[in-house]
Amino acid sequence: MRHATILVAILAFVPLVSAAAQLRPGTRVRVTHPPICLPPTYCVGPRQKSVGTFLAWKADSLVMESNGDTLAVPQDFVTKLEVSTGRGYSKAHAIAGMIGGMFVGSLIGIAIADVTAPEEGCSSLDVTAKRDKGNCLANGFLVGFLGGSLVGWGIGALIPGDRWADVPLDRLRVSFGPQRDGRFGLGLSVRF
């Protein structure tokens, strides 16, 4: 029974070690939290993400530098904590590039179709059939839309972005406060 207790204690400590190892001063972090206001004021609003450099864990808050300012996020406010694992392929950049490419490609396709299409209409796949100019513009839009989305996706995929890894906070809580004998104490709790 004693060996099982020791094994459980070791397995419970592994997440603590991995979370603490990821959070060294100077690590780039992204913290999701509700708006932070000064104590007499209560803020209401959507959760926000603060990105910056981790400085330290204080008594009950995470201290980081974000946009040149020092930000202390109360530990109870932290809903998600992520560390940067480097830069690489960014799905968000690829999607943004694709959307921009769709818009620009569509405009270019319409402009080219407008300039090159004769007044009486353009030929379709069947050389004998003629289409009106509206169909030519629709074809130009479609070709530009598809071509622009592919080119935009390719360009967006080449722009690197941050890759993030979650730090499991739901299992780890750190507390610091006064004890019954008047001294301050540091406590760690692990939830299974």
Is residue 14 domain-shared with residue 85, that is, in the same domain?
yes
Q: What are phi and psi of 57, to 5 degrees?
A: -95, 120
Is residue 24 domain-shared with residue 83, that is, in the same domain?
yes
Q: Identify the H or E element spanning 3.
A: helix 2-22
Number of domain units in the chain: 2
Q: Collapsing DSSP states into helix, strand and coil, what is residue 2?
A: helix
Longest dimension (CA), the chain: 98
Per the prediction, the chain carries an average pLDDT of 76
Per-residue pLDDT at 169 exceeds 80: no
Residue 7: the pLDDT is: 46
Is residue 84 domain-shared with residue 96, that is, in the same domain?
no
Is residue 182 domain-shared with residue 153, that is, in the same domain?
no
Q: Identify the H or E element spanning 172.
A: strand 172-178
Is residue 147 domain-shared with residue 169, that is, in the same domain?
no
Is residue 139 domain-shared with residue 112, that is, in the same domain?
yes
- 83 - beta bridge partners? 29, 165
Q: Which of 104, 114, 149, 115 is nearest to 135 (CA)?
A: 114
pLDDT in tens, 11-55: 444 444 444 445 788 888 888 888 776 666 666 767 788 888 888
Read off the pLDDT band of 187 (50, 70, 90): low
Is residue 13 domain-shared with residue 73, that is, in the same domain?
yes
DSSP 8-class letter at 126: S
Take residue 34 and report the two structure tokens written for it: 């509700």
pTM value?
0.51
- The Cα–Cα gap between 54 and 71 comes to 10
Q: Collapsing DSSP states into helix, strand and coil, what is residue 138?
A: helix
| Amino acid at position 60, single letter | D
Range of the domain at 81: 2-89+162-190
Most confident of 29-43, 122-136, 171-185: 29-43
Distance of CA 70 to the CA centre of its chain: 21
Is residue 65 domain-shared with residue 154, that is, in the same domain?
no
pLDDT in tens, 53-111: 888 888 788 888 888 888 888 887 888 888 888 888 888 899 999 999 999 999 999 99
Is residue 129 domain-shared with residue 37, that is, in the same domain?
no
